[in-house]
A and B are shown apart, each in its own frame.
Chain A
Amino acid sequence: MTEPDRPAHPDPRAGSESVVVTDVVAARPSGPDTLERDRPGTAPTAEGWTTSEPATDWTWDGATADEQPPAGQAGDERAGDEQSEDERSGEPEADRARRRRELPSAATVLAGLRSQGWLAALPLLAALLWTLGFLGADPREMGSFGLLSLFTVGVVAGLLVLVGGFLTSLYRNKREWVLGLYLVTYIALIHGTPAVLYGTLRYSWAYKHVGIVDYILRTGTVDPTIAVGEIYHNWPGFFAAGALLTSLSGSPDALRIATWAPVVFNLMNLVVLRYVYRGLTRSKRLIWLGLLFFFIINWVGQDYFSPQAMAYVLYLACIGLLIRRTRLKTHLLVPFVLIVAVVSASHQITPMMLTLAITALVVLRRTSGWYLPVLGGVLVAAWAFTAARDYTVPNIMELVVGLGQPVSNANETLEKTSGIAAGSQLVVIWGGRGVVVLATVLALVGAWRSWRVRGLRVTAILLMVLPGMLVLMTGFGGEVLFRAFLFAAPFIAFLAAAACLPRDGRGFPWRNLVVTAVVTAMLLPGFLLGYYGKERQNYFTPAEVSALTWVQENARPGSLLVEGSRNYPTQFKNYERFVYVPIDREPEGSWREMLADPATKLDGWLSDPRYTDAYVLITRSQKIAVDTTGSMPIGSLEDIELALRQSPDFRVAYDSGDAVIFELANREGR
């Protein structure tokens, strides 16, 4: 009997080729190349699909080795016991990552809110107290301490609740969104209150910038050879962007946008600075305490509608990009080039600081890429000597003269405040300086403690010290010390925060909480003085704005505008049509002649046939500024106004109560 045909032995090792796998692999679309390390679950092999243990660190964001602070660098901290509630829950990382990617449901959001407890609701209470505290406040009644003179118990209570709640949340290691809510509320209250309370745009320089935007909107271009405001036309990046935003919003001008610019720029600073700090450390408490300190030491007030505010955000972002990665990969080079190019086309001193920082970071091996300083320098020089050559070439000697003159450059800033008349303003000035001194001392303590325990936080210390080199390079019109502090402030705040936290970076004992609270209590009054102390002269009434609108709309091109001082809502419309002569910037001999016989002196100026029309403008805010700064004797502008009102040679062309515009009674007949 023959044996029936034996079927093939069911050897599980034999089998068909994994055709499907091959085809599948071939057909796989381009995707992240995180094959061997990051792919979860099953993985194709030569034999076909096999099941393996799922990778525990799978995320769609791929490898994160480069996201960590480079090993051995300053601030190389890990979470340690600074574990978030997520990490303490024991939930696998893959599940946490998946949960982060998914949008939370309403129930999840509510559960999250409840879990954070009453601390998450405190910002609302603080905002309520602050708002109630300012109810009925009249900005016209601001005294010599500016907006501080309008503070009530409710306002102070709101601020204390806000800052106290933040520190408590930090102590209790609450979620980042809770801490962020506090700082967002802080920014909205501190920087949004003038916008709501005044009803007009504050600060005369903001109006000038609105005027550049107005020029672009009217003409569709910039004129690098223009006589007035030429520097803005040579570095037009910010103004062009502002013009595009204004056009798209449908507004006739940028006044409304500029009014809220401080809030927007500070919110940008918040998110970008957090990005920077996460490149120095992963300690949540250090990051957020550093952020708080930054917003209570940065009284310099360069957050208004200005090119430096935008350039500052981009400067921080570029620093964050460099310090986070030890090697700048190709696809990160594009953001680097983009940011440096925009900064180069928008401002003058920020590109200098940025190039300095890039060079220092590369030379001291905080980041790699020898070509980065070269690239940055080329981009800066390219703009300066091509599109901006009409300004750069004639003024280059001014820059060269300032090189290597730190004392002279610093004195330019200090001399600006030397003529302060009122004692209250001296308190304001020294309040701001006190913040600088205290914060810097704390930062040095933080640097020293870090050096003893965890190695030098070289990067943060470097970036704190580096802006001092600006003083070696230029006086920047008497502003260099302010700007140097502004660039150093983020890293002063970071190191000061490090001084308040435990040396080993673990936990937040109550002793450190007390120290932090005391430090905050010492810094906050100085910040309020520095930031709000000059609001009396920075506030412009609607009547002043309406007077300026009248003259800017009615005066013919080529008109002369004699102004009491530059502190008023100036040059925000048709600005290029006027020739501006501020009385308080005349040589002392000239304004003394003016004070002796204002009508005769001004008659001579306004009769000049070179001008189509001629006006004298005296406003409430100009008088306050002259009396406060001491540029002329107290009451000088009141005397000039009185003399012109009494003179038969002059008549009032427009009087809004807070601003009066004079013209010659019979100019055409002369």
Chain B
Amino acid sequence: MSTHSPVRDRIPLVAGLGAGHALAVVGALALALALALDAPAVRMIAALAICLVLPGLGWARRLRLRDLGDTVAMTVVLSVSLTAVVATAMAVAGTWSAYGGLGMLIGIAVLGFVPVRSVAARTSAVVLGRSTYRPRRRQVPVDAGETDDGWTDWYADARARSDEERRRREAEAAAAEQEWRDWYAESQGRLTPDRPERWGTAESAPRDDQHAPKAGADKRD
């Protein structure tokens, strides 16, 4: 099912987002809300998830590690590092705020899921009224700013449109061929009124000498 729509396409940030992003944002908000609960165990688990998993999840996905275990490892490492950076900055600057830190971690987490290149391309398309996308010829996917979500939707849509186009062209070609055949048959019938047989049967096949020039016909005396 295509996820493209005129309205969606005109909102670059939204257009670049897929179900995965929505799930990540919802998950982050749910964890933040869990911190407000009066249940120590739930709050502890939510706090651990926010500090040890959430901030680095989107960024680890950008590394495009094939192995799930490797992605988990980098998720944890990046999350711990980002938590330490945010907290250290607050402590050293003397601007400690737990909720400020929470907001920064959630913001970093959400940014990790935003397909930056896709959003930038769509923004330019909306602003300039044209696409500025230029495909690269690199053989190896290395740009961490890209995600595969737009690609997925585009590919499915393009595949469907391509199939439709191919069928249309095949139908047109078949129709044109049939029309030509009909004309040819009809034309054969009109040119040879004493030969009611249509072209294409053994009995109506022209003899080899039927159209051959008579011997000496071209000689002038």
A317 near B77 with CB under 8 A, answer yes
Contact code string B28-66 (vs A, CB < 8 Å = 1, else 0): 000000010000100110111011100000010011111
- Complex: A175 Cα to B84 Cα, angstroms: 35
- Complex: A4 Cα to B140 Cα, angstroms: 57
Question: What A residues does B133 contact at CB under 8 A?
Answer: 26, 28-30
B78 near A36 with CB under 8 A, answer no
Of A8, A241, A274, the residue contacting B87 (CB under 8 A) is A241
Partner-binding segment picked from A140-148, A328-336, A408-416, A560-568: A328-336
B180 to chain A, nearest CB (A): 5
Question: What B residues does A65 contact at CB under 8 A?
Answer: 140
Partner-binding segment picked from A340-348, A437-445, A597-605, A621-629: A340-348
B112 to chain A, nearest CB (A): 12
- Complex: A100 Cα to B121 Cα, angstroms: 30
B135 near A35 with CB under 8 A, answer yes
Q: Taking each of B84, B118, B158, B186, which has the highest tally of chain A beta carbons within 10 Å of its own beta carbon?
A: B84
A240 near B90 with CB under 8 A, answer yes
A7 near B82 with CB under 8 A, answer no
- Complex: A27 Cα to B177 Cα, angstroms: 34
Contact code string A9-41 (vs B, CB < 8 Å = 1, else 0): 110100110101100111111111111111001
Q: Is A394 an interface residue (CB 8 A)?
A: no
Question: What A residues does B40 contact at CB under 8 A?
Answer: 249-251
- Complex: A29 Cα to B124 Cα, angstroms: 12
Of B65, B94, B101, B179, the residue contacting A67 (CB under 8 A) is B65
Q: Is A256 an interface residue (CB 8 A)?
A: yes
Question: What B residues does A257 contact at CB under 8 A?
Answer: 44
- Complex: A341 Cα to B69 Cα, angstroms: 24
B69 near A248 with CB under 8 A, answer no
- Complex: A237 Cα to B180 Cα, angstroms: 81
Of A12, A220, A222, A334, the residue contacting B173 (CB under 8 A) is A12
A24 near B151 with CB under 8 A, answer no
Residue of A nearest to B90 (CB): A240
B150 near A31 with CB under 8 A, answer yes
A331 near B77 with CB under 8 A, answer no
Q: Is A216 an interface residue (CB 8 A)?
A: yes
B131 near A26 with CB under 8 A, answer yes
Q: Is A417 an interface residue (CB 8 A)?
A: no
A28 near B84 with CB under 8 A, answer no
B88 near A34 with CB under 8 A, answer no
Question: What B residues does A241 contact at CB under 8 A?
Answer: 51, 80, 83-84, 87-88
Of A26, A48, A329, A334, the residue contacting B165 (CB under 8 A) is A48
Given contacts A222-B92, A243-B87, A387-B92, contact A31 B148 (CB under 8 A): yes
B218 to chain A, nearest CB (A): 25
A15 near B158 with CB under 8 A, answer no
Q: Is B169 an interface residue (CB 8 A)?
A: yes
Cβ < 8 Å to A, chain B residues 111-128: 115, 117-118, 120-122
Of A29, A38, A180, the residue contacting B16 (CB under 8 A) is A29
Given contacts A48-B165, A61-B65, A342-B81, contact A29 B154 (CB under 8 A): yes
Q: Is B214 an interface residue (CB 8 A)?
A: no
Question: What B residues does A41 contact at CB under 8 A?
Answer: 159
Q: Is A666 an interface residue (CB 8 A)?
A: no
A268 near B135 with CB under 8 A, answer no
- Complex: A619 Cα to B79 Cα, angstroms: 40
Question: What A residues does B96 contact at CB under 8 A?
Answer: 216, 220-221, 243
B121 to chain A, nearest CB (A): 5
Q: Taking each of A3, A28, A274, which has the highest tally of chain B beta carbons within 10 Å of its own beta carbon?
A: A28
Q: Taking each of B48, B63, B142, B176, which has the highest tally of chain A beta carbons within 10 Å of its own beta carbon?
A: B142
Question: What B residues does A64 contact at CB under 8 A?
Answer: 66
- Chain B interface, DSSP helix/strand/loop, else mixed: helix
A272 near B148 with CB under 8 A, answer no
Question: What A residues does B66 contact at CB under 8 A?
Answer: 59, 61, 64, 67
Contact code string A219-256 (vs B, CB < 8 Å = 1, else 0): 01110000000000000111111011101111100001
Of B51, B68, B74, B154, the residue contacting A31 (CB under 8 A) is B154
Contact code string A58-77 (vs B, CB < 8 Å = 1, else 0): 01111111110000000000
B161 near A240 with CB under 8 A, answer no
- Complex: A425 Cα to B176 Cα, angstroms: 97
Question: What A residues does B26 contact at CB under 8 A?
Answer: none
Q: Is A313 an interface residue (CB 8 A)?
A: yes
B69 near A28 with CB under 8 A, answer no
Given contacts A28-B158, A244-B86, contact A10 B173 (CB under 8 A): yes
Contact code string A190-227 (vs B, CB < 8 Å = 1, else 0): 00000000000000000000000000100011100000
Given contacts A29-B16, A274-B69, A331-B142, contact A310 B161 (CB under 8 A): no
Q: Which of the four size classes fits the interface of chain B? A: 35 or more
Residue of B nearest to A218 (CB): B96
Of B76, B140, B141, the residue contacting A272 (CB under 8 A) is B76
Q: Is B191 an interface residue (CB 8 A)?
A: yes
Q: Taking each of A8, A61, A240, A334, which has the highest tally of chain B beta carbons within 10 Å of its own beta carbon?
A: A240
- Complex: A33 Cα to B15 Cα, angstroms: 20
Given contacts A4-B187, A256-B44, contact A271 B87 (CB under 8 A): no
B158 near A33 with CB under 8 A, answer no
Q: Is A665 an interface residue (CB 8 A)?
A: no
- Complex: A30 Cα to B62 Cα, angstroms: 14
A551 to chain B, nearest CB (A): 27
Residue of A nearest to B125 (CB): A27
B114 to chain A, nearest CB (A): 12
Given contacts A49-B162, A241-B88, A338-B82, contact A32 B146 (CB under 8 A): yes
Question: What B residues does A250 contact at CB under 8 A?
Answer: 35, 40, 43-44, 47
Q: Is A278 an interface residue (CB 8 A)?
A: yes
Residue of B nearest to A23 (CB): B161
A589 to chain B, nearest CB (A): 42
- Complex: A24 Cα to B135 Cα, angstroms: 12
Q: Is A590 an interface residue (CB 8 A)?
A: no
Question: What A residues does B139 contact at CB under 8 A?
Answer: 33-34, 36-37, 63
Q: Is A88 an interface residue (CB 8 A)?
A: no
Residue of A nearest to B150 (CB): A29
Of B47, B118, B140, the residue contacting A63 (CB under 8 A) is B140
A509 to chain B, nearest CB (A): 27
- Complex: A36 Cα to B136 Cα, angstroms: 11
B52 to chain A, nearest CB (A): 8
Question: What A residues does B138 contact at CB under 8 A?
Answer: 33
A245 near B47 with CB under 8 A, answer yes
Known: A29-B154, A271-B73, A339-B81. 7 other contacts (CB 8 A): A65-B140, A240-B84, A248-B102, A249-B46, A274-B69, A345-B84, A346-B84
Where the two chains meet, the residues of A that have a C-beta atom closer than 8 Å to any C-beta of B are: 1, 3-4, 6-10, 12, 15-16, 18, 20-21, 24-38, 41-42, 48-49, 59-67, 100, 176, 180, 216, 220-222, 236-241, 243-245, 247-251, 256-257, 264, 268, 271-272, 274-275, 278, 310, 313-314, 317, 320, 329-332, 334-335, 338-339, 341-342, 345-346, 387
- Provide 30 A-B residue pairs closer than 8 Å at the C-beta atoms, listed in order of the A residue: A7-B180, A10-B174, A16-B169, A24-B157, A29-B153, A30-B120, A30-B151, A32-B148, A33-B141, A34-B140, A42-B162, A63-B139, A221-B94, A241-B51, A244-B86, A244-B90, A248-B35, A248-B43, A249-B40, A249-B46, A251-B40, A264-B48, A275-B73, A278-B70, A313-B76, A330-B142, A330-B144, A331-B62, A338-B82, A342-B84
Q: Which 10 pairs from chain A and chain B are nearest by CB?
A: A31-B151, A331-B144, A220-B96, A29-B150, A62-B141, A247-B98, A240-B87, A10-B176, A10-B177, A249-B47
